Structure 1
Amino acid sequence: MSRSPENVRVRRTRTLLRQALVELIEERGFDRVTVGQITERAMVSRAAFYRNYRDKYRLVEEIFDEAAAALIDKTGGDSDADRIRRLEAFYDGVARYDRLYRALLGRKGSPWFAARIQDTVTSMTATHLPLPAPVDDLIATLLGGMFLNSVTWWLTHDRPVPARDMATHYARLAAALISEANTPPSQPNS
């Protein structure tokens, strides 16, 4: 199957823009990077940038959305093994864009991006897991924060374990937290 020249050109432009963004975040920090700097570094026109992305945030969101899609893919089922498979696919997506995630979650990174990851997982958790009221929002928020921290830890420590192991560890910790949340509180002794 041959690919049209435009598809190759679009993919090349997006790749150059992503690489430029990572380099600039590492040098300057996300908040100080401008679209002009990204296009200059990538050696593409501003028009080419805006044909692909609304702004630098959309560029980052597209990469995150690719990884996050793995978390909500229910085509394989909803067993524990399926959930671990989806988590593993997410960690694999992070590994594929290792430098970008490291840059965005590192010292010069973006609080906006960290909040985006946590909010996405918190929302997915609140929607898909049976959690007891009134602590359902608290548990979903804790799971979102735990997920963000697991990704950050994994990257900060140079991915010391495979994505499958990270998925399994997170799933076990999440299950323990959910189990504890579903346990009725003990009554104080009278």
Structure 2
Amino acid sequence: MSRPPQAATPNVRVRRTRALLREALVELIEERGFERVTVGDLTTRAMVSRAAFYRNYRDKYALVEQIFDEAMAEMTADDADERTPGERWAGFFRHIDAYHRLYRALLGRKGSPWFADRMRTSLAAMTTTGHFPGHTADDLVPTVLAGMFVQSVVWWLEQDRPCPPEEIAARSARLIRAVIESTAD
């Protein structure tokens, strides 16, 4: 008898465990700062076993990476995606909005320089997939654009999200477009 194929979406218990760990991560970052959070702290706060944690993540960095990778997947969907770049940016900001406490904690004063750098690097690397034509990943422009975009996220979160995701995405895109246009050869 063959086994049924694995479901694309994790089961309810896995989703619940991941949600509890994400919430515990946010609370602990807000209290102690990212660098001082341990896996033991996370499992105790989330009231899940260490085994449950390690079934889902290899360490606290993998937990954060999974959340951020979801955001990047939203923005860099495959070529069959018919959304405009602006719609993709808005989708990215909707993801940030959905996890605003986590991103505020990770990018804030008690946050993680590692995460901020990972975010900038990922956004700069988008240039190699044609999102900023005419520039390569080792060019100054993608690095500046990624820094601008991360700073837009930080500003939006620090101001308690004063406008909808679509508006901050549009405002950020206008700034980024101005930089791209000013560097065109």
Structure 1 vs Structure 2: percent identity of aligned residues?
58
CA deviation vs aligned residue, 1:80-131 (integer Å, no higher than 9, x gap): x610000000000001001100100111000001001100010102441223
Which residue does the alignment assign to 2:49? 45
Q: How many Å separate the matches in 2 of 1:136 and 1:47?
A: 40
Higher Rg: 1
Decide whether aligned partners of structure 1 residues 136 and 14 sit closer, same or farther in structure 2, where only a CA change above 3 A counts.
Answer: closer
The amino acid of 1:75's aligned partner reads A
- Unaligned residue ranges in structure 1 (runs of 5+): 184-190
Which residue does the alignment assign to 1:123? 125
User: How do 1:9-88 and structure 2 match up within 5 A?
Assistant: 9-73=13-77, 74-77=79-82, 82-88=84-90
* Deviation beyond 3 Å, 4+ runs, structure 1: none
Q: How many Å separate the matches in 1 of 2:159 and 2:99?
A: 16
Count of paired positions: 175
Decide whether aligned partners of structure 1 residues 126 and 141 sit closer, same or farther in structure 2, where only a CA change above 3 A counts.
Answer: farther
Of 34-43 and 166-175, more deviation after overlay is shown by 166-175
The amino acid of 2:161's aligned partner reads R
The amino acid of 1:56's aligned partner reads K
Q: How many Å separate the matches in 2 of 1:14 and 1:182?
A: 44
- Unaligned residue ranges in structure 2 (runs of 5+): 1-6
Asked if the contact 1:122/1:144 (under 8 Å) is kept, the reply is: yes
Decide whether aligned partners of structure 1 residues 125 and 132 sit closer, same or farther in structure 2, where only a CA change above 3 A counts.
Answer: closer
Q: How many Å separate the matches in 1 of 2:37 and 2:69?
A: 21
Asked if the contact 1:126/1:140 (under 8 Å) is kept, the reply is: no
Q: 1:177 aligns with which of 175, 179, 182?
A: 179
* 1:113 partnered with 2:118: no
Partner SS, residue 44 of structure 1: coil
CA deviation vs aligned residue, 1:3-62 (integer Å, no higher than 9, x gap): 9xx811111111111111111000000000000000011111100000000100000011
